[in-house]
């Protein structure tokens, strides 16, 4: 085994498999699941009444991966958490420490995702020798919970070399992540791709609308504010860059602070691109922290806090709907020494049962600590923290005691069942199904509004057997509840173009899908 530090760029497709369900004999790619329509935006909604769109926040579980090794003196940043074929979890993280290269990656394993071990791998040279958990690789980038890569031999991409990024490196494909602990022949399982890697560019998702790989990261042109750019490549070698996500006129109304987007992790999931924006609030009351003046059109703020916000793109990352990104999804701590004063998310969520587990990097101090603005000499550290929420429950359409109605745009019935992600444990949800048709009213034939449930003459677009009151009441809290009607079966509408008519009372509606 080569002991000198080699560098590997590792881009990986991961998927959300429930805990304990992976077996060694299973195929690498999970079976394709129909995607959910989530109410992150108004894309699928034709008309609705008095709902509130509510952003739901994951529950913080605190620090679960602290820096506690001699080469982690300044902390660690989580890059990827996935599930090994033996059922254990594995974590790749970047090491921040004195006398160790800044791009060094380390490895940890866990049985439960809460308690982590850092095995001494003996793979690369580090401080004091090879008795460490350091890896000969860079950051793994998850391409989404489901991904859209069908070739099992190209589930991962690796770039191997003997010097820092950009020096004598070659790209390889691989079927699965190496078993660093048990497989000394992991290199033999790689297939050369015939291209060289690009400096500090990874991959977040495959954009099948434009046939190119995309990586969302900070744009090189900061002023008048930091922004995130869409970096794209068709051949993994030649890249284009376009700034696409930045503050607008609705941001930054408090004159003491300056709103910017610092970075973004993005993933292809549920038919959309979900973006986790790292939102940076610069402290404008600290002029000594405003450095790097550039042509008088703006300045780079160095002191400030950071939270995580959710946004969605439906065109491959060119435009982003910020309907739910105006407020923090994961908020930062309020105190100067809060363990989560800064929160950053670089890893796609891990599916555990009916929950999504988000492993974030947290910092117990403001950005820009290298400028020594803590008078007591304290230097904030990076740690790994866990946040948990039920699967796909980022945003709900919420109705109170008065029943509200939602009617979708036309959509095809592509499955034999209709499932809801819904919390109706305290109230009730009913679903009707209608097909647009010509209806005669007042001796006039025409297409009456598709949102008509029933007019005064009894005309309706709702199908017999699928009217609102013919639905069996839904009064459960479930991430995948199957809707049933009293005297009809959805299979009779398979392949037809319909609209869903959903009545919600004292409940939260997160999404739906045909399956």
Could you check whether the bond before residue 266 is cis, i.e. omega within 30 degrees of 0? no
Would you say 329 and 352 are in contact if contact means Cβ atoms under 8 Å apart? no
Q: How far is CA 212 from CA 203, 219, 266, 337, in A?
A: 10, 19, 15, 42
Confidence (pLDDT) at 299: 66
The pairing of strands 7-12 and 105-110 is unpaired
Model pLDDT, residue 11: 35
d(CA 282, CA 257): 5
The pLDDT assigned to 32 comes to 67
The per-residue pLDDT for 459 is 73
What pLDDT, on the 0 to 100 scale, is given for residue 253?
79
What was the pLDDT predicted at 61?
97
Q: Contact at 8 Å (CB) between 205 and 143?
A: yes
Residue matched to tokens 């790994």: 384
Backbone angles phi, psi at 214, to 5 degrees: -130, 140
Check if the beta carbon of residue 210 is closer than 8 Å to that of residue 276: no
- Residue 370 per-residue DSSP state: G
Domain span(s) for CATH 2.115.10 in the chain: 7-21+34-396
192: helix, coil or strand? strand
CATH architecture of 7-21+34-396: 5 Propeller (2.115)
DSSP string, 4-68: S--EEEEEE----PPTT---TTS-SSPPP-PPPEETTSSTTEEEE-S-EEEEPPPEEEEEEE---
Weakly modelled stretches of the chain, pLDDT under 70: 1-32, 142-147, 158-169, 197, 199, 222-223, 287-299, 370-371, 440-458
Strands (DSSP E) along 237-303, which ranges? Answer: 239-245, 257-269, 272-283, 290-291, 300-301
Residue 187's pLDDT is what? 79
Mark 230-258 as b/e (b = at least 16 C-beta within 10 Å).
bbbbeebeebeeeebbbbeeebbeeeebb
* Half-sphere exposure for 417 (CA within 13 Å, toward CB): 9
Maximum Cα–Cα distance across the chain = 91
């Amino acid at each position: 085994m080569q002991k000198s530090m080699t560098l590997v760029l590792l881009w990986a497709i991961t998927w959300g498999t429930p805990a304990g369900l992976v077996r060694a004999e299973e195929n690498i790619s999970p079976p394709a699941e129909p995607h959910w329509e989530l109410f992150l935006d108004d894309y699928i909604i034709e008309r609705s009444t008095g709902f509130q769109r509510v952003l739901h926040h994951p529950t913080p579980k605190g620090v679960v991966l602290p820096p506690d090794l001699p080469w982690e003196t300044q902390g660690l940043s989580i890059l990827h958490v996935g599930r090994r074929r033996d059922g254990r979890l594995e974590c790749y993280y970047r090491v921040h420490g004195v006398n160790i290269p800044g791009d060094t990656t380390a490895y940890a394993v866990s049985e439960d995702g809460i308690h982590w071990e850092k095995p001494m791998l003996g793979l690369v040279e580090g401080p004091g020798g090879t008795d460490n958990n350091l890896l000969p690789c860079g950051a793994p980038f998850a391409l989404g919970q489901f991904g859209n890569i069908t070739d099992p031999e190209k589930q991962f991409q690796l770039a191997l070399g003997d010097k820092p990024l950009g020096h004598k490196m070659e790209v390889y494909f691989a079927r699965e992540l190496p078993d660093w602990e048990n497989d000394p022949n992991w290199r033999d399982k790689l297939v050369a791709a015939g291209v060289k890697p690009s400096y500090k560019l990874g991959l977040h998702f495959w954009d099948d609308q434009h046939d190119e790989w995309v990586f969302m990261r900070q744009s090189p042109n900061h002023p008048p504010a930091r922004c995130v750019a869409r970096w794209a490549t068709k051949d993994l070698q030649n890249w284009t860059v376009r700034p696409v996500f930045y503050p607008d006129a609705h941001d930054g109304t408090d004159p003491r602070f300056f709103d910017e987007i610092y970075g973004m992790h993005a993933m292809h999931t549920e038919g959309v691109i979900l973006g986790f924006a790292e939102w940076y609030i610069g402290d404008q009351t600290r002029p000594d922290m405003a450095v790097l003046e550039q042509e008088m059109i703006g300045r780079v703020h160095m002191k400030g806090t950071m939270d995580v916000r959710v946004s969605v793109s439906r065109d491959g990352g060119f435009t982003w709907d910020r309907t739910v990104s105006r407020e923090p999804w994961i908020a930062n701590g309020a105190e100067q020494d809060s363990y989560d004063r800064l929160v950053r998310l670089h890893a796609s969520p891990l599916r555990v049962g009916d929950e999504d587990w988000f492993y974030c990097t947290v910092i117990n101090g403001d950005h820009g600590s290298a400028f020594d603005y803590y008078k007591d000499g304290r230097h904030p550290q990076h740690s790994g923290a866990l946040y948990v929420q039920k699967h796909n429950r980022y945003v709900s359409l919420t109705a109170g005691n008065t029943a509200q109605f939602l009617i979708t745009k036309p959509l095809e019935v592509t499955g034999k069942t209709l499932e809801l992600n819904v919390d109706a444990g305290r109230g009730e949800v009913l679903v009707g199904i209608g097909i647009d048709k010509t209806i005669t009213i007042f001796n006039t034939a025409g297409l009456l509004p598709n949102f008509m449930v029933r007019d005064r003459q009894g005309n309706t677009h709702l199908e017999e057997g699928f009217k609102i009151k013919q639905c069996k009441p839904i009064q459960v809290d479930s991430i995948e509840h199957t809707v049933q009607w009293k005297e009809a079966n959805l299979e009779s509408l398979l392949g037809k173009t319909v609209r869903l008519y959903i009545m919600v009372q004292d409940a939260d509606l997160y999404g739906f899908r045909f399956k």
